[in-house]
């Protein structure tokens, strides 16, 4: 959550920005008042004085209540809260980066190849098959991509709100030097394919390759937001659905 970064419950100006969101929820509701939404947020009802909503409007209410209300609004009514009080409900960097990826990433070039069984450092090509979108848990696979120019690739795994860079070679590096033509990864230090598998999380996961001319790709969404517009890099994405 973003309490520590975007919302300070000790700041009355921040607390004051919560009431317009409550008011908007009530305006959109058929039969609920701002106070009833506040009770929902704090697992009420709680006994409150007659001027309590007036105090909430002014930001004069308990920090503990403000923190509960903020978290509840963030989890349940974020879009409305962001629209009305963007200062304390900013769009998280991970979401902003996801929108950039959706708008700019090419699909089709980044591919995944599954390994039917026992695929180690050496194996026959007939044992591998290109996957469309679905891979079983504990089924080994690797990625491949063909490029027309040399460069550097960093690969991110996107699950939920998390973006994590993947190790791509035997030196535990989070980048891969690309050669002209077909590139397969991750690899061992000697260049042999080092397949990976998903052992735990079911459902769709997005994999995003950032290809740059120089090896300077940052590793967090916040850093990527500042770096990407001037980087001249290219984005490629692939979604894999992991099943039982």
Question: Is the predicted pLDDT of residue 85 greater than 60, yes or no?
Answer: yes
Q: Which of 21-25, 51-55, 161-165, 168-172 is least confident?
A: 168-172
Pair of tokens at residue 84: 């009305």
Question: Is the predicted pLDDT of residue 66 greater than 90, yes or no?
Answer: yes
Q: Output the CA angle 72-73-76, nearest 5 degrees.
A: 80
Q: What mean pLDDT do residues 166-192 have?
A: 91
Quick one: pLDDT band at residue 46, thresholds 50, 70, 90?
A: low
pLDDT higher for 190 or 70?
Answer: 70
% of the chain beyond a pLDDT of 70: 89
CA dist 41 → 26, 45, 70, 169 (Å):
13, 10, 8, 47
pLDDT higher for 49 or 154?
Answer: 154
Question: Is the predicted pLDDT of residue 225 greater than 50, yes or no?
Answer: yes
Contact 139, 189 (CB under 8 A): no
% of the chain beyond a pLDDT of 90: 75
d(Cα 201, Cα 158) in Å, to the nearest integer? Answer: 12
pLDDT of residue 5: 54
Quick one: pLDDT band at residue 132, thresholds 50, 70, 90?
A: low
Q: What mean pLDDT do residues 138-142 have?
A: 93
Contact 157, 124 (CB under 8 A): no
State the chain's mean pLDDT as an integer: 88
Question: Is the predicted pLDDT of residue 178 greater than 80, yes or no?
Answer: yes
By C-alpha distance, which of 22, 163, 26, 23 is closest to 105? 163
Ranges of H-type helices in the chain: 3-6, 12-16, 19-28, 34-41, 52-58, 63-76, 78-84, 93-104, 221-231
**Global model pTM greater than 0.85:** no
By C-alpha distance, which of 176, 237, 185 is closest to 212? 176
By C-alpha distance, which of 5, 118, 7 is closest to 70? 7
Quick one: pLDDT band at residue 158, thresholds 50, 70, 90?
A: very high
Question: Is the predicted pLDDT of residue 1 greater than 90, yes or no?
Answer: no
Asked, as a colleague might, if the bond just before 45 is cis with ω within 30 of 0, I would say: yes
């Amino acid at each position: 959550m973003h309490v520590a970064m975007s919302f300070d419950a000790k700041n009355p100006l921040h607390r004051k920005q919560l009431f317009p969101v409550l008011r908007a929820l009530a305006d959109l509701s058929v039969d609920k008042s701002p106070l009833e939404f506040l009770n929902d947020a704090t697992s009420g009802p709680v006994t409150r004085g007659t001027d309590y909503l007036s105090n909430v409007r002014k930001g004069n209410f308990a920090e503990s209540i403000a923190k509960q209300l903020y978290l509840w609004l963030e989890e349940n009514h974020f879009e409305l809260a962001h629209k009305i009080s963007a200062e304390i409900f900013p769009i998280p960097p991970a979401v902003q980066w996801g929108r950039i990826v959706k708008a700019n990433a090419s699909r089709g070039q980044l591919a995944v190849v599954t390994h039917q069984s026992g695929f180690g450092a050496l194996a026959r090509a007939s044992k591998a098959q290109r996957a469309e979108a679905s891979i079983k848990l504990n089924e080994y696979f690797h990625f491949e991509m063909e490029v027309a120019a040399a460069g550097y690739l960093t690969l991110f795994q996107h699950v939920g709100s998390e973006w994590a860079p993947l190790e791509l070679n035997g030196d535990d590096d989070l980048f891969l030097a690309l050669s002209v033509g077909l590139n397969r990864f991750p690899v061992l230090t000697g260049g042999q394919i080092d397949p990976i598998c998903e052992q735990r999380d079911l459902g769709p996961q997005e994999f995003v390759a950032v290809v740059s001319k120089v090896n300077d790709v940052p590793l967090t969404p916040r850093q990527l937001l500042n770096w990407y517009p001037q980087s001249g890099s290219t984005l490629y994405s692939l979604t894999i659905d992991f099943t039982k």
